[in-house]
Chain A
Amino acid sequence: MSEVLTGAQAIIRSLENLGVTDVFGLPGGAILPTYDPLMDSKKIRHILVRHEQGAGHAAEGYASASGKLGVCIATSGPGATNLVTAIADAHMDSVPLLAITGQVGSKLIGTDAFQEADIVGITMPITKHSFLVTRAEDIPETIAAAVLIATTGRPGPVLVDVTKDAQVSKAEFVWPPKVELPGYKPVTKPHGKQIQAAAALIGESKKPVLYVGGGVVRSGASASLLKLAELTGAPVVTTLMARGAFPDSHPLNLGMPGMHGTVPAVTSLQKSDLLIALGARFDDRVTGDLKSFAPEAKVIHVDIDPAEIGKIRFADVPIVGDANEVITELNLELQKQPKADLNEWWAFLDNLRARYPLGYTPADDGKLSPQYVIERIGELSGPEAIFAAGVGQHQMWSAQFIKYERPNAWLNSGGAGTMGYSVPAAMGAKVAQPDRLVWSIDGDGCFQMTNQELATCAINNIPIKVAIINNSSLGMVRQWQTLFYNERYSNTDLHTGTDALMIPDFVKLAEAYGCLGIRVEKEEDIDKAIKLAIETNDRPVVIDFIVSRDAMVWPMVAAGVSNDEVKYARDAAPIWDNEE
């Protein structure tokens, strides 16, 4: 059975047929035709944002919290370019995202028409793929292809730019459409020989490490990873993108590796003889100076994207495939062989764990210790909550001091490092998972980039909790100025603290947006405020935590420096040599 629909109706019908239930967007001239049938859709909830960047990050948060596709809609020109940061972010962190943009009429393309921007051209380097649709009859096939590409293989953002005339004209709506992508055949099933080779290396290894990346979260491989860890008895490190992929409470978990990783996690990679990289991409924030990274280690590299394998580090055993399928096959193979004796390895690692636990020095300037605030948010909220961070110090502390027990509980902008991600991402996460407690843990700098979405949250009954870790400055940049620029604080003071100009006053701002605003300046008020926020669900909550600006993120491996030079605290490097 087929019927004749306008292109605009076809967009909405295609999304409905593909199971899309929530979209984030903001209308404008070139996408107006599509907003008309959207109003009548019984299956799709559209959430009107205040800025298109908010729509993009909300769709990312929605996707990252649920594992489903996130969808955002914007008009042509500036509407579309406002999505660019979120699209770039989704590209770096492999988030399944569909961005639909209106475009000027096909006859006007190339004439510098009003609100014309070549968004397909602009986003080419930051999308997995993109489409320009100029004919109504091509819409169902294109939307279906876009969703297929965004959600399969290595997930990523796909842009569909639809001209106004394609939305207005009519065509027969045929469903399901024929999707032909002869050049797109992601490999998900691993090669049996490679699985055997990997198992053999694991059997020989005396110092293996499971180096777990965001691919494990995207592929939903946590259960099989748990089994793999227990079959091998190997230590597990979870990267910034993989926090929660393996429970923090598990004795095999050494925590996060990388620039602000734990000493045991960083050191385990350095001293390892076998890295089992699972959906990880040897990011420079993990490897530090590449030449001295894990010098003794052989590498088993598992990734669904063949181009990641061997890109940064040679892989002795490359395995292309979906993390969950690979780990499942690997587990079957490992069950056939005896578990290696890793006692000596664990003795070394346990010693590190005992000597270099994560910690912090409490603030001594009368302000709150940001680490303590974040730790309490995690403890009072529990592992079923969702935590979306911005970018900077508060992000690192949130990765370090909240204990994650499940995947998709930790959302952040890892690859792109997008300040302003947190509030809209938390909003999207709350829409995807309305029964979960959702925190935006944000900095005073980040918060000022996208806090307009509090209006969206308040009006649409999306009661997120925002914790502003307010140190009145661009904290991470300030930390680098402290450490590497002789404490010359060039342009990092934001004047948001209670002892500064306090512009803006975040509590008043929260109230202006119809949120509950709370300010916390004393340690004894922290728990009370967090509990009040958790109990308040008739509106969003913003807590302004006034924290010390001198708090720093430790441990730290400075940029471009060897992981061997990890500093446990300022001027305090771990001592390697006097271990028996």
Chain B
Amino acid sequence: MSKHVLSLLVEDKPGLLTRVAGLFARRGYNIESLAVGASEIEGLSRITVVVSVEGLPLEQVTKQLNKLINVIKIVELEPEQAVQRDHMLIKVKTEPATRSQVLEAVTLFRARVIDVVSDAVIIEVTGDSSKCAALIKVLEPFGIKELVQSGVLAMGRGSKSITEKVLK
């Protein structure tokens, strides 16, 4: 099983996400994570999708995605040549005795506390997947009440943009 990060430039049309998700479902590809949002160009969106493929070349996945009329471009972002970030919110149980330890972990991970009540805090953290996983591990003993996570966002390093050459 190998994981790949694909960045898709797509037309912002109704049903686009269904088309992409449906394609993955019917061809038997696994989506590990999915993030969708506007791009710098009006009418175009960016999808970052992490796929795990087994027994078939990634090329088949990208070729099938390319057949979707609203998909304009697909780039595989290799880890070395791209930045990848997860965004996560964690609600952790706190007691007077543990609060300082929780806050210490927050500092160590360069995370932020964005909401505090007497018996819990909400922590916001941004980073790659391994950092987020490590923070979860550290916070688990205190009691994680709730956790939400964005899909992976990724962008190629350097000055080039995937929208270049696409719109002449």
Task: Give the residue of A120, A128, A184, A307 whose beta carbon is less than 8 angstroms from that of B15.
Answer: A120
Q: Is A251 an interface residue (CB 8 A)?
A: no
A183 x B68 contact (CB < 8 A): yes
> CB-CB < 8 A to B15: which residues of A?
120-121, 124, 132
Shortest CB-to-CB span from B46 to chain A, Å, is 14
**Minimal beta-carbon separation of B160 from chain A (angstroms):** 19
Q: How far is the CA of A261 from the CA of B126 in the complex (A)?
A: 60
Chain A contacts for B72, CB-based, 8 A = 182-183
- Evaluate contact between B60 and A181: CB separation under 8 angstroms: no
A307 touches B11 (CB 8 A): no
Q: Is B158 an interface residue (CB 8 A)?
A: no
Q: Quick one: CB contact mask for B128-156 with A, threshold 8 Å, 1 for yes?
A: 00000000000000000000000000000
Q: Smallest CB–CB gap between B44 and chain A, Å? A: 9
The complex places the Cα of A182 from the Cα of B166 at a distance, in Å, of 8
Closest partner residue, chain B, to A126 (CB atom): B26
Q: Tell me the complex Cα distance, A121–B25, Å.
A: 14
Q: Does chain B have a CB within 8 A of A250?
A: no
In angstroms, how far is the closest chain B Cβ from the Cβ of A326? Answer: 18
A129 cross-chain contacts in B, Cβ below 8 A: 69
Is the Cβ of A307 less than 8 Å from the Cβ of B69?
Answer: no
A307 and B67 in contact, given A124-B22, A182-B72, A183-B72 (Cβ under 8 angstroms): yes
Interface of chain A residues 284 through 322 with chain B (CB within 8 A): 305-307, 310-311
Task: Give the chain A neighbours of B18 by CB distance below 8 A.
Answer: 121, 124
Instruction: Tell me if A183 and B69 are in contact (CB < 8 A).
Output: yes
* Cβ-closest chain B residue relative to A158: B69
Residues of A contacting B19 in the complex (Cβ-Cβ under 8 angstroms): 124
A181 with B63: in contact, given A124-B15, A124-B19, A132-B14 (CB under 8 Å)?
A: no
- In the complex, A132→B19 CA distance in Å? 14
Report whether B70 and A307 are in contact in the complex, using a CB–CB cutoff of 8 Å: no
Q: Is B10 an interface residue (CB 8 A)?
A: yes
A149 part of interface (Cβ distance < 8 Å):
yes
Give per-residue flags for B48-75: 1 if the beta carbon is below 8 A from chain A beta carbons, else 0.
0000000001011001101111111100
Specify which of A149, A183, A310 is in contact with B60 (CB 8 Å cutoff): A310
Partner of A182, one of B64, B66, B68, B167: B167
Residues facing A in B1-28 (CB within 8 A) are 10-11, 14-15, 18-19, 22, 26
How many angstroms between the C-alpha atoms of A189 and B124 in the bound complex?
Answer: 52
Cβ-defined contact, A306 with B66, below 8 A = yes
Interface majority SS on B: helix, strand, loop or mixed?
Answer: mixed
Interface residues on A, range: 10 to 19
In the assembly, what is the distance between CA of A398 and CA of B70, in Å? 40
Indicate whether A305 sits within 8 Å of B14 (C-beta atoms), given known contacts A182-B72, A183-B72, A311-B60: no
Number of residue pairs spanning A and B whose beta carbons lie under 8 angstroms apart:
40
Residues A125 and B22 in contact, CB atoms below 8 Å apart:
yes
Q: Give the chain A neighbours of B66 by CB distance below 8 A.
A: 306-307
List the A side residues contacting B11 at CB < 8 Å. 182-183
Q: Which residues of B contact A128 (CB under 8 A)?
A: 69
Question: Which residues 111-139 of A have a CB within 8 angstroms of B?
Answer: 120-121, 124-125, 128-129, 132
Cβ–Cβ contact A183 & B14, under 8 A: no
Looking across the interface, which residue of chain A has its beta carbon closest to that of B44? A182
With both chains docked as a complex, state the minimum distance between the C-beta of A333 and any C-beta of chain B, in angstroms: 26
With a CB–CB cut-off of 8 A, which chain B residues contact A305?
A: 67
Complex interface: chain A residues within 8 A of B71 (CB): 183
Residues on the B chain within 8 Å of A307, using CB: 60, 63-64, 66-67
A132 to B68, CA, bound (A): 16
Q: Are A310 and B167 in contact (CB under 8 A)?
A: no
Q: Which of B11, B57, B69, B70 has the most chain A CB atoms inside 10 A of its CB?
A: B69
Residues of A contacting B60 with CB < 8 Å?
307, 310-311
Please give the distance in Å from B9's CB to the nearest CB on chain A: 9
Partner of A310, one of B10, B14, B57: B57
Contacting residue for B69 out of A120, A121, A149, A310, CB 8 A: A149
State how many angstroms separate the Cβ of B43 from the closest Cβ of chain A: 10
B116 vs chain A, min Cβ distance (A): 41
B162 to chain A minimum Cβ distance, whole angstroms, is 13
Q: How far is the CB of B5 from chain A (nearest CB, A)?
A: 20
Which of chain A's residues have a CB closer than 8 A to the CB of B57? 310
Check A183/B26 contact, CB under 8 A, given A121-B15, A124-B15: no
Within 8 A of B (CB), among A67-113: none
The reply to whether B69 and A306 form a contact with Cβ atoms under 8 Å apart is: no
User: Which of B11, B15, B67, B73 has most chain A Cβ within 10 Å?
Assistant: B67
For B59, the chain A residues whose CB sits under 8 A away are: 310
Chain A residues within an 8 Å CB radius of B73 = 183
B67 touches A181 (CB 8 A): no
In the complex, the answer to whether A181 meets B22 with C-beta atoms within 8 Å is no
Which residue of chain B has its CB nearest to the CB of A314?
B57
A102 to chain B, nearest CB (A): 18
Kindly list 17 other residue pairs between chains A and B, CB separation below 8 angstroms, not including A121-B18, A183-B73: A124-B15, A124-B18, A125-B26, A132-B14, A132-B15, A181-B69, A182-B167, A183-B10, A183-B11, A183-B69, A183-B71, A183-B72, A184-B69, A305-B67, A307-B60, A310-B59, A310-B60
A-B contact pairs, 26 of them (CB 8 A): A121-B15, A121-B18, A124-B15, A124-B18, A124-B19, A125-B22, A128-B69, A129-B69, A132-B15, A181-B69, A182-B11, A182-B72, A183-B69, A183-B70, A183-B71, A183-B73, A305-B67, A306-B66, A307-B60, A307-B63, A307-B64, A307-B67, A310-B57, A310-B59, A310-B60, A311-B60
Q: Rank and list the top 6 A-B pairs by shortest CB-CB distance, nearest first.
A: A307-B63, A183-B72, A129-B69, A184-B69, A183-B71, A306-B63
